[in-house]
Amino acid sequence: MTTFISLFQLQHEASVSMQFWDNPTVDGFHSLLMTSKPMIRTSDHVFQLCELVKLQSSCKKLNLLSELMDHSGNYVQTALPFLLSLLQQGLGQRILLLTHSLSPDPEWSVDSEAPKHKAQPPLSFGLLLRPELAISVLERGPPADSPKAAEFRRLWGSRSELRRFQDGAITEAVVWEGESICQKRLVPKQIITHLLQLHADIPPSSLRYVGAMVDDVIRTGSEVSSTGEEESLQVVQSYDDLSRKLWRLEGLPLSITAVQGAHPVLRYTQVFPPVPLKLDYSFFEREKTSRSLIPKEDKPCPAYITPITVICHMEGSGKWPHDRLAIRHIRTAFHICLGELLKKHHNYTCRPCPTHLDVWKVFYLVCVDVPHLWASFVSFICSPPLTGGTTHWWSTSTTSSQASTLTRLPFPSVSHKQSPPDLLLFTHPTYFNILLVCIAVSTLTLIVVHPCHV
């Protein structure tokens, strides 16, 4: 059975095939001709209609009795084109492609009865989503006085309501449930369930939906379930604001050449990202000299604040010393100067240390580090020359840590001028969720304290 959806699927597959053939970096022959492509691999979401006998009532609801006679009572083939048209109209711009699979016509012996239509395998449907539109909870319709308003209300039924928007327009609209991003990913399921029940009398119990199942592994929260994407986005926005302010600082001995986020949450690869924390100052007392917060002895231990590491690179200079202790003193001076400027221009609470600068910004603790590449070289331990006259160098734990922080950071790191993680998150919404699942599973498997940085 060929439908208009089958033609769209053929057109889409032909377009993708040409892209594979024209790409010299991909083995097009193996990818196109030697690799199986079941619906579960070629679709973002998949759902099935399990109780096909329900399609009998769908034919009555859709007034398809004449078409049912044309198909000799096969209510599955009768209702399928109308269901595809209904879903295509309801999902609209949320999907790139709607596909389906229909089992071939059954064969039976002449000595036995013909199999019942309800004995056929479940009908399978696949959705190829548009990432930028699929998770929208708002379906905005035509204005209230438009002739298309009645058609919009007929399509969505009781879910349609008049709403006034910020631009002053009063239009028909449908609002779906979804507070967090992981809940919004299942908006297509809400649309499909509502349309099938309203127009085809297919109850939700007959629908088997598979989509966004990766989120179930890393989902947290009792009231509003979340996968940590909102928390990660808040951290990235806070970091972007601090990065801009660091770039605009004036009065530093050396100008800033790069600001790089070194914490996994800035690459959306932290399983449990830091959450904003508002301090209860009744649990602390001020130190007289530095005015630092010190926990009171008669109060419970304060909550742990996860620091967000940020590397601030300065321009090169030939005046850096070659002594490790002198470099440490100069880095401390840089941290003090940077903290004074942030306090003066932006009123941030800062605490300089020899190794980093603690900045308290909008309920987040940011550790700003001003590294120097030469410091990693002068920290090597040198052994006396051997009999052959060669000198051997061994790295210490300090050099290994500095090299890991400065040179082995993954390339998709958040920076002020370009943000590859944001691009990946936009084009492949589930990419980072899969990373989080891999990190969580590997952490539990290896029984380590902290997940490895990705």
Query: What is the C-alpha separation between 325 and 411, in angstroms, rounded?
Result: 31
Contacts of 240 (CB under 8 A, 6+ apart): 414, 416
Confidence of residue 48 (pLDDT cuts 50, 70, 90): very high
Query: What is the C-alpha separation between 434 and 440, in angstroms, rounded?
Result: 10
**Residue 427 one-letter amino acid:** T
Class of domain 36-107+114-134+176-217 as given by CATH: alpha beta
Residue that is written with structure tokens 């986005």 in the block? 233
Query: What is the C-alpha separation between 254 and 109, in angstroms, rounded?
Result: 88
Domain ranges for the chain, please list them: 36-107+114-134+176-217, 138-174, 229-382
Q: Which helix (H) or strand (E) holds 22?
A: helix 4-22
User: What is residue 375's predicted lDDT score, i.e. its pLDDT?
Assistant: 52
Pick the range with the lowest mean pLDDT from 122-126, 235-239, 244-248, 427-431: 427-431
Percentage above 90 pLDDT, the chain = 19
What would the pLDDT profile of 247-292 be if each residue is shown by its tens digit? 888 888 888 888 888 888 888 888 888 888 887 778 888 877 766 7
Q: Which helix (H) or strand (E) holds 61?
A: helix 55-61
Closest CA to 260 of 400, 398, 369: 369
Q: In the CATH scheme, what architecture does the domain 229-382 have?
A: 2-Layer Sandwich (3.30)
What would the pLDDT profile of 342-368 be if each residue is shown by its tens digit? 999 998 888 888 888 999 888 888 999
Q: How far is CA 196 from the centre of its chain?
A: 29
Structure tokens at 261: 């986020």
pTM: 0.77
**Contact predicate 211/189, CB 8 Å:** yes
| Average of per-residue pLDDT values in the chain | 81
